[in-house]
Amino acid sequence: MEKEVLEKYKRAEEISTKVIEFSKGLLKDGIKILEIAESVEKKIFELGAKPAFPLNIGINEVAAHFTPASDDTSILKVGDLVKIDIGVHVDGYICDRAFTICVGDEKHQLIEACEKTLKEALKLIKPGAKICEISEVVENSLAEFGFNPIRNLCGHGLERFVQHAAPSIPNAKNDIKDELKENQVIAMEVFGTNGSGWVKESYPALIYQFANDRLPRLLEARKILDMAKFKFEKLPFTKRWLKEFSPLKLDFALKELVNIDAIKAFPILKEQTDALVAQAEETVIL
């Protein structure tokens, strides 16, 4: 890996560490989740980087792909299991990290299980390691605590301006014998649950991403597609970031863009039995 590229990855990691510490200070009973999202994203910019995706805040059964809308008034409550998934990029080089806290309680067995499992998995993240070996460690480690992995969520590779690249590293046992390679960047991600171990799609979608060049009919849709491609650099974005459009026109424009496959929508992912989910994630350069 070129020295300049490595330095940008390191800078993204350094900034993400500061952002994580900042975000942990916000997670208290009574705070609006909208305030959390806007404060953390603002902090990323202030530190000289950009969000690689909208801040994901998964509460209790919500595993992924949730970020608050601009009119969201919901707050954190004591006992909430809160997942914070942060993406930071410097010139497209992404650091993707996540942690879980239980509001008002320093300890939670599901959080402990995911953090220990991530540490065990990271020991294997090196050139030559087989995907199936890593996934087996994840499932076995969570099972020792009496929990299940989320079987349809994965760790993943990172590439420049690509937040989900090959390889995928499932949380559950499999027979994928592909090996990790030198210079790959891996976001090792563990999702544990006291439920069935599967997530389902839930609506509405609040996160979108550029997919293809198309010619939308609506003027607002054309503007949003340009923003998705250039301003957001083909990385995920959220409705909350499109403040210059009225809510009604924004909804019509996004619907048209999804329908013509110009952008992709990311539905909220919830544990299918509405059980608790915890998450732990770190980015590693092999």
Catalytic annotation, residues: 85, 96, 156, 164, 189, 281
Residue showing tokens 């959080």: 111
Backbone conformation region of residue 221, classed left if phi is above 0, alpha if psi is from -120 to 50, else beta: alpha
The Cα–Cα gap between 32 and 75 comes to 4
Identify the burial level of 51 via C-beta atoms within 10 angstroms of its C-beta, where 0-12 means exposed, 13-18 middle and 19 or more buried.
buried
Q: Could you count the other beta carbons within 10 Å of the beta carbon of residue 212?
A: 11
CA distances from 35 to 27, 32, 72, 76 (A): 10, 5, 10, 11
Cα 254–chain centre separation: 21
Sign, CA torsion 235/238/239/242: negative
Secondary structure (3-state) at 128 = coil
* Secondary structure E strands in 113-210: 148-149, 154-159, 162-170, 185-193, 199-210
The Cα–Cα gap between 232 and 229 comes to 6
Q: Which amino acid is at 9?
A: Y
Cα 137–chain centre separation: 22
Residues 6 or more apart whose CB falls under 8 angstroms from that of 145 comprise 109, 110, 112, 113, 116, 192
